[in-house]
A and B are shown apart, each in its own frame.
Chain A
Amino acid sequence: MSDIASRVKAIIVDKLGVDETEVTAEASFTNDLGADSLDTVELIMEFEKEFNIAIPDDQAENIGTVGDAIAYIEENAK
């Protein structure tokens, strides 16, 4: 697992209070991991802080799964 992937997963485990084994690449924040819309906003903010990036709202809307988040950050993090 890449460094980015493990850091993303750690944030999700912490913020959503879920078990690490549930945080698979396919897992949807809202459908599988129990996040509501505010949780999702908070996750995006945590990713921005952790990786020192800015995720525009129209991009954030497309990040629905753990895999989406990892892919976006791998592409955009400096």
Chain B
Amino acid sequence: MELKRVVVTGLGAITPIGNTIDAFWDSLSKGVSGAGPITRFDTTNFKTKFACEVKDFNPTDYLDRKEVRKLDLFAQYAMAASEQAILDSGLNPEEVDPDEAGVIWGAGIGGIITFMEEVRNYVEGNGTPRFSPFFIPKMISDIAAGHISMKYGFRGPNYGTVSACASSTHAIADAFNLIRWGKAKVFITGGSEAAINEAGVGGFNALQALSTRNDDPATASRPFDKGRDGFVMGEGGGSLILEEYEHAVSRGATIYCEVAGAGMTADAHHLTAPHPEGLGAKKVMEKAISDGNIKPEEVDYINVHGTATPLGDIAETKAIKDVFGEHAYKLNISSTKSMTGHLLGAAGAVESIAAILAIKHGIVPPTINHFEDDPDIDNKLNLTFNKAQERKVRVAISNTFGFGGHNASVAFKAIE
């Protein structure tokens, strides 16, 4: 079977460093941190008191007031980012064959804010179960894909992907493969997450996964730095319009780049710790590259998972050296989580967008907050510390790895 070519024709983002693609890129290229004290709940008794929150998000810019109440924040981010992406693509949803258009959306957790509110109301009540009829359809993580399909009338393949912090990379990989295989012509894909509440922060704190640098939130997300002490929680959503190449060309679409290849693997090692040699990370990059018939030396930029956990960053740099050999020292590597924080299930979508924008602008966004080299990390690698670097990017890879040992990588290629 001849595989179809797949291109990216639209982008949208709601992030801690900007609520449009332009604002997001402006912050990324300038190295702006999105971290600050948590405003959503009282953090007095919490070990971590800061996060990368989305600022100034007004859901009624995208949804009517009645709809807003029926959507958990993670689904509101999905609707907002996807509206931006559809507008950006120039697609008129009414002119798309609805049976050839689908939605695949990633969320690692889903409606944890809704879940906590509803359970709290029940526990604090008199025992009468007064759960909202919208409790379940607000909470379940697949519902974002459902809402998006209803808004645009897309009747093609429709589901959610769940693989913790790799969720939205799996969504993009699935959408890419389904178009390649001729199963649909257009997808709205990506992911969103909104887990900055007591349960989200308390839960990740219990795992010892979050930075506790409460005296200096803006420099707390320090991927590859000796002083790194865990990730900073982020939230938001990223949406991509993936389209079959001929379909995009025939309607005169502006094309950002091609989706060249995707890889998916598992560590099969531990619940939360990465394989110490980065085995799953190594294999997943190898698969993404070979899937796209890409020569390793064509890869100019890797947007890494790089969460700033002590073990994860070491394993990932080892994996990059294993895959790329000498070329590992010539390509640019950066963790944009240093600015956005870790968007969990939305990380893959937002970081794929960062990789695509690096191709578009010829600029690699930095890994900010580098203060001191870690002797356990090969600092001859170009980790793009502190300042963006100009560079023509032919192929950019986005890596994400999730609790449970799920790994996913996508390779984007400048259009020829």
Partners in one complex: yes
Q: Which residues of chain A have a CB within 8 Å of any CB of chain B? A: 15-17, 34, 38, 41-42, 45, 48-49, 54
Given A17-B64, A17-B65, CB of A38 within 8 Å of CB of B134:
yes
Task: Tell me the interface secondary structure of chain B in the complex.
Answer: loop
Q: Are B133 and A41 in contact (CB under 8 A)?
A: yes
Q: Which residues of chain B have a CB within 8 Å of any CB of chain A? A: 64-66, 69, 128, 130, 132-134, 137
Q: Are A45 and B130 in contact (CB under 8 A)?
A: yes
Q: Are B64 and A48 in contact (CB under 8 A)?
A: no
A31 to B132, CA, bound (A): 22
A77 to B106, CA, bound (A): 46
Contacts of A54 in B (CB 8 A): 128
19 contacts between A and B (CB under 8 A): A15-B66, A15-B69, A16-B66, A17-B64, A17-B65, A17-B66, A17-B69, A34-B66, A38-B133, A38-B134, A38-B137, A41-B133, A42-B132, A42-B133, A42-B134, A45-B130, A48-B130, A49-B130, A54-B128
Contacts of B132 in A (CB 8 A): 42, 45
Task: Tell me the interface secondary structure of chain A in the complex.
Answer: helix
**Interchain residue pairs A-B with the least CB separation, the first 7:** A17-B66, A41-B133, A38-B133, A17-B65, A42-B133, A45-B130, A42-B132
Nearest A residue (CB) for B66: A17
| Shortest Cβ distance from residue A21 to the other chain B in the assembled complex, whole angstroms | 16
A15 to B130, CA, bound (A): 16
Contacts of B137 in A (CB 8 A): 38
Contacts of A16 in B (CB 8 A): 66
Nearest A residue (CB) for B125: A49
Contacts of A34 in B (CB 8 A): 66
Nearest A residue (CB) for B65: A17
Query: Which of B130, B133, B137 counts the most A-chain CB atoms under 10 A from its CB?
Result: B133
Contacts of B69 in A (CB 8 A): 15, 17
Contacts of A17 in B (CB 8 A): 64-66, 69
Nearest B residue (CB) for A49: B130
A42 to B65, CA, bound (A): 16
